[in-house]
């Protein structure tokens, strides 16, 4: 198992690969720091995800961990946008926050038929650990939510809980 000692989150070449997906010519891949430890008051960023919006913008998502690298506590879902294939990134945008609770595991999806974006995510009380949730000893439970967007990531709907649709509830 490799331990990441440098807490900077890098999306290495992935943005460039997505940007070049339709190109017949290969280019030299560049490394770009998307989320930097300490940025906007976040101690760390984890669980990156990337999607190409219908307008061609790249949207990078991550968990913004406020106090530590722990999976427990005050964790938000954050996003940055690149309109130039990942060469530079706009300011950080908080997509969902719930105070001291945990919102995480972002999974952005583009609906190619409509151009709309869907963001799947999880939510649990900030004090509940993964083991407590798994063994049913937590104060709350982990839920699955969805947010939608029809403007290429500019604004997001409020989260709707869809846990009842999750056939693997015991695994969360």
Domains and CATH numbers, the chain: 9-171 (2.120.10.10)
Q: State both tokens at 23.
A: 């190109």
> How far is C-alpha 126 from the chain's CA centre?
17
Q: What is the DSSP letter of 73?
A: S
Across 71-89, average pLDDT: 97
CA dihedral sign of residues 8, 14, 19, 23: positive
Contacts of 47 by beta carbon, 8 Å cutoff, 6+ apart? 62, 63, 104, 105, 106
Going along 26-92, which residue ranges are E strands? 31-35, 44-52, 58-65, 75-82
Q: Does residue 19 sit in helix, strand or coil?
A: helix
CB-count burial class (<10 Å; 0-12, 13-18, 19+) for 137: exposed
For 139-172, how does the pLDDT look when each residue is reduced to its tens digit (9 = 90+)?
Answer: 999 999 999 999 999 999 999 999 998 666 555 5
For 42-65, how does the pLDDT look when each residue is reduced to its tens digit (9 = 90+)?
Answer: 999 999 999 999 999 999 999 999
Q: For position 17, what pLDDT does the model report?
A: 47
Q: Whose structure tokens read 């990078």?
A: 60
Among 45, 43, 14, smallest CA distance to 30 is for 14
Q: CA-to-CA distance for 77 and 172, rounded, in angstroms? A: 18
What would the DSSP string read from start to end of 109-153?
EE-TTT--EEEEEEEE-TT--HHHHHHT-SSS--EEEEEEESSTT
* Residue 1 scores a pLDDT above 50: no
CA dihedral 48, 86, 119, 93 (to 10 degrees): 90
For 82-128, how does the pLDDT look when each residue is reduced to its tens digit (9 = 90+)?
Answer: 999 999 999 999 999 999 999 999 999 999 999 999 999 999 999 99
């Amino acid at each position: 198992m490799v331990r990441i000692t440098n807490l900077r989150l890098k999306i290495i070449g992935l943005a460039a690969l997505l940007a070049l997906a339709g190109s017949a010519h290969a280019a030299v891949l560049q490394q770009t720091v998307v989320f930097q430890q300490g940025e906007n008051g976040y101690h760390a960023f984890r669980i990156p995800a990337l999607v190409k919006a219908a307008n061609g913008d790249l949207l990078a998502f991550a968990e913004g961990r406020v106090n530590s690298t722990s999976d427990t506590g005050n964790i938000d879902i954050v996003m940055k946008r690149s309109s130039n294939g990942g060469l530079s990134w706009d300011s950080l945008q908080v997509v969902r926050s719930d105070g001291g609770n945990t919102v995480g595991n972002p999974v952005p999806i583009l609906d190619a038929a409509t151009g709309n974006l869907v963001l799947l995510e999880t939510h649990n009380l900030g004090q509940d650990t993964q083991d407590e949730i798994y063994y049913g000893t937590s104060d709350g439970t982990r839920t699955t939510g969805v947010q939608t967007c029809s403007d290429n990531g500019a604004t997001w709907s409020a989260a709707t809980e869809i846990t009842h649709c999750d056939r693997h509830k015991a695994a969360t």
